[in-house]
Amino acid sequence: MSHESIAPVLVVGAGPAGLTIALSLLKNGVPVRIINKAPVDHKEQRGLGQQPRTQEVFHFLGALLEMRTMGIDLQPLVFYKFPGGKEVLTTLRLVASEDPTPSRPFNNPIQVPQYHTEAVLRSHLAKYGCSVELNTEFVGLKQFDDHVEATVKRMEGGEEMIETKSYRWLVGADGGRSVVRKQSGLAFEGTSTPEKAILGELYLEGLDTEHWHMWLKDAGNDLPTSLLVRTTEVPGKFWFMLSGDIDPDQALVSNESVKQALQLAMERDDLPLGEIVHVTDYRPSVRMVNKFRTGRVFVVGDAAHVHTPRGGQGLNSSVQDAFNLGWKLALVETGLAPPSLLDTYNEERLPVIKRMLQETVRMTQDVFTKRGDAESIKSAWQRGTHLKQFGINYRWSSIVFDERFQAIDAQGAEAAALNPYGTEGDSILRAGDRAPNATGLVRVGQDAQSQTTDLFSVFGPTHHTALIFGGGAAGIRAIIKSLQVCPPGALFTVIVSPGADSVALNAADGGDAVLHDGDGTAYAGYGMSEYQTYVVIVRPDGVVGATVSGEEGVRKYFGAVFSDIQPA
């Protein structure tokens, strides 16, 4: 087969994970074909919202503002008392609400219907002339050394067509029942949970729209029955999930039987239930792949891991998978990076997902065992702010590298190395961590006219960013020179100047921007001092790749990321 007939990337599945990887690749100039077996775009709520870290990814992809037009702050949750189901037992917040800070501008989860998240991402794909091919189902693949052959089934003019084409890479984002995963022989290990659920949307009257409403009923057996109801953006329409020790087959016999099951769960007949818009059976299990890649095939999102919705990590983790893989695949496909860079996708994400599954299992057990009074409920349902996913890190990754932390604390570096969700209060920023935002930065230079900016406007999914800290002109010049090993356009170099004086400006030749850290948030957030020169290299996915002090470190980091960079 000639090389001309091999296309770059096929993305199978157009949920949040598939759309995110497609957009990351397109922004990096890599053409994508994305297919969805569904005949039309769904209109469902599904994953209810976005964790702060997910919002940050959508910010970097340029799509957050439109997501937020339909987003509201995550609402508090009301629990009702039994018998009666009417009186309030307690009200709580699943995740404590926090004020935005300079390093965390999006500090709280928001509720956005999943169909809207997907529609916004599709509208961004369209800017690159890419649209999702509906009614197109992936059915099989064959791997070769330099390509993958994928077979799809699609409808054309009312007729079924089978078509086989070759791609250099294939990304399976085809959800929990992933055919890509099965066809590529990846194991999906874990267990089913005893919990069964039905979920859907219906019209009802009499419930306020400022809270989520929860009827948690202890029937004396192992599993409590819980009914969660919350508003949607359509007046009168609510989303619901009934779960626990229920019989979905029986509940789903008719619309009337669905309503009866709901009424039984809340013990109330004063809330008139109207039309059932849709309802489905949902049997959560807890499983993950043994690896995220085999040869030229990757899995992202639900295709790689499923778990109970508790803690809201599903969509959120799926988007992070896609964003982790996107820039790496783009650099390899455009010939700038060695294929070994792709091994770090599995190396970085596998421990995070493993930890996430443990967390969701623990939260589920808590919810099953701690019940009855308001105190138990609070201790089971109010969750740590680590679920916002700010702490998720890749400190163990073979491509991240931190000279500064080794200098501060060599033993601590080892001991604290493997906590993929991070530890709250672990305040020393290290390579592998999320790169924080910083505000009040003032552009310095001839035509800059003192506009203020922030670091999150400087980072981006198509380039690395080098932040040079420290006040000494000689050190800055040496670092800028060493950074010139990078391929053109692949790096944006910023001198973060502690003062408004001209030292940094005089040294700035070859850098892209000088930013004066007017309110000190950048130096504070990155734990830097004006007396020592360091460069913090931020990856395209907003993660600190390296903190190094000179040419040797610069070459060590970029030598693993880009082809043809030799050690100093």
Ligand X SMILES: Cc1cc2nc3c(=O)[nH]c(=O)nc-3n(C[C@H](O)[C@H](O)[C@H](O)COP(=O)(O)OP(=O)(O)OC[C@H]3O[C@@H](n4cnc5c(N)ncnc54)[C@H](O)[C@@H]3O)c2cc1C
What are the residues binding ligand NAG (CB under 6 A)? Answer: 47-51, 59, 74, 95, 100, 102, 105, 109, 254-255, 275-276, 309, 312-316, 437, 439, 454, 456
The torsion of the CA quartet 46, 47, 50, 56, rounded to 10 degrees, works out to -90
Class of residue 466 by CB neighbours under 10 A (exposed 0-12, middle 13-18, buried 19+): buried
Q: 10 Å Cβ neighbour count for 521?
A: 20
475-514: contacts with ligand X (CB under 6 A) = none
Q: Could you tell me if 241 and 199 are in contact, meaning their C-beta atoms sit under 8 angstroms apart?
A: yes
258: contact with ligand X by CB under 6 A: no
Least Cβ distance, residue 55 to ligand NAG (angstroms): 9
CA triplet 165, 171, 173: central angle to 5 degrees? 120
Q: Given candidates 71, 102, 224, 314, which one binds ligand X under the rule CB under 6 A?
A: 314
- Tell me which stretch binds ligand X (CB under 6 A): 35-43, 205-213, 382-390, 391-399: 35-43
**Cβ-based nearer residue to ligand X, 110 or 315:** 315
Instruction: Name the 3-class secondary structure at 13.
Output: coil
Rounded to whole angstroms, the Cα distance separating 359 from 337 reads: 35
242: contact with ligand X by CB under 6 A: no
**Cβ-based nearer residue to ligand X, 137 or 454:** 137
Q: 10 Å Cβ neighbour count for 98?
A: 12
Least Cβ distance, residue 107 to ligand X (angstroms): 20
52: contact with ligand X by CB under 6 A: no
**Cβ-based nearer residue to ligand NAG, 301 or 471:** 301
Q: Residue 280 binds which one of ligand X, ligand NAG, none, with CB within 5 to 8 A depending on kind?
A: ligand X
Q: For 5, which DSSP code?
A: G
Upper half-sphere CA count for residue 123 (Cβ side, 13 Å) = 11
**Cβ-based nearer residue to ligand NAG, 27 or 168:** 27
**Cβ-based nearer residue to ligand X, 174 or 195:** 174
Q: Residue 137 binds which one of ligand NAG, ligand X, none, with CB within 5 to 8 A depending on kind?
A: ligand X
18: contact with ligand X by CB under 6 A: yes
**Cβ-based nearer residue to ligand NAG, 458 or 514:** 458
Residue at 412: amino acid letter? G
Q: Which of 199, 251, 242 is nearest to 48 (CA)?
A: 199
**Cβ-based nearer residue to ligand X, 277 or 565:** 277
Q: Could you tell me if 420 and 393 are in contact, meaning their C-beta atoms sit under 8 angstroms apart?
A: yes
17: contact with ligand X by CB under 6 A: yes
Which residues lie closer than 8 Å to 256 by C-beta, 6 or more apart? none
116: contact with ligand X by CB under 6 A: no
Q: Which of 179, 227, 170, 174 is nearest to 204 (CA)?
A: 227
Least Cβ distance, residue 52 to ligand NAG (angstroms): 8
Q: Could you tell me if 321 and 301 are in contact, meaning their C-beta atoms sit under 8 angstroms apart?
A: yes
Residues of the shown chain interacting with ligand X in the complex, contacts defined by CB under 6 A: 12-18, 35-38, 46-48, 114, 137-138, 173-175, 179, 199, 241, 280, 282, 301-303, 309, 312, 314-315, 318
